[in-house]
Amino acid sequence: MDNIKVLIDEKTLKQRIKDIAKEIEKDYKDKEINLICILKGSIFFTCELAKNINKNVKIDFLRIASYDGTDSNKIKLVADLLPSIKDKDIIVIEDIIDTGKTLNYLIPYLKKSNPSSIKVCTLLDKPSRRIVDFKADYVGFEVEDKFIVGYGLDYNQNYRNLPFIGYIEKND
Ligand code: IMP
Ligand code: MG
């Protein structure tokens, strides 16, 4: 059993997500909101965010696999479940930006379909681990270089259902 410590509790998470929802609501006052949830990690964040946006949002899904254990692997687009995004205003919802490789691959891929705009909203950002430069438009929390689990994030597919953001404490 891994030793999991709480990094961001549920109440703090919910409050910050509410604040981001209000920001998005203001920025998209005159636009349709199309959220693209990156499966599986972003599912909890996408739901909480969508619930707090006080206007209609559309939600679609993409599945990307980029991790095996704690080691960064090749990025794979496992399933593109998107309807046409041509001329749409898109917000990509990520759980965490780590090396930046996933979004560095995904954003050019989405741009090929000619959406009218694309922004990126991430719950967590780990800038100390960046390999390719990438800046999100909306960031929930900056986190230090720890392996994060919970609230959608996994370690070998486990711990996604923890209602808080935690990290795995290494016992060495
Ligand atoms: P990047 O391509 O290195 O920026 O990694 C992005 C993806 O790697 C995220 O969407 C996560 O699925 C996964 N990832 C990165 N860091 C962590 C972590 O600390 N815990 C769990 N998953 C992570
Ligand atoms: Mg992910």
pLDDT of res. 67: 57
Strand-pair partners of 148: 167
Beta bridge partners of 67: 72
98 is catalytic: yes
What per-residue confidence (pLDDT) applies to 103? 95
Structural element, H or E, at residue 27: helix 10-27
Contacts of 55 (CB under 8 A, 6+ apart): 25, 28, 33
Alpha carbon 11 to chain centroid, angstroms: 19
* In the block, residue with structure tokens 């964040």: 45
Give the pLDDT of residue 34: 98
Q: In what order do the strands lie in the sheet with 71-80?
A: 71-80, 57-68, 33-39, 89-97, 117-125, 138-142
- Whether 91 is in the pocket of ligand 1, judged by its Cβ within 6 Å, is no
Torsion of CA 80, 37, 140, 114, to 10 degrees: 60
Strand partners, 3: 169
pLDDT of residue 65: 80
CA 143/CA 123 separation, integer angstroms = 10
Q: Which of 44, 94, 96 to mutate to test the pocket of ligand 1 (most atoms within 8 A of CB)?
A: 96
Q: What pLDDT does residue 73 have? A: 60
Task: Name the phi and psi angles at 59, rounded to 5.
Answer: -130, 125
72 close to ligand 1 (CB < 6 Angstrom): yes
User: How remote is the CA of residue 67 from the centroid of ligand 1, in Å?
Assistant: 7
Print pLDDT tens along the chain (172 aa): 889 999 999 999 999 999 999 999 999 999 999 999 999 999 999 999 999 999 999 999 999 887 555 555 678 888 888 889 999 999 999 999 999 999 999 999 999 999 999 999 999 999 999 999 999 999 999 999 999 999 999 999 999 999 999 999 987 6
Instruction: Kindly report whether the global pTM for this prediction surpasses the value 0.75.
Output: yes
Ligand 1 atom index nearest CA of 102: 2
Report how far ligand 1's centroid is from the alpha carbon of 156 (Å): 12
| Residue bearing the CA closest to ligand 1, atom 12 | 41
How many whole angstroms from 18 Cα to the centroid of ligand 2? 21
**Residue 123 near ligand 1, beta carbon < 6 Å:** no
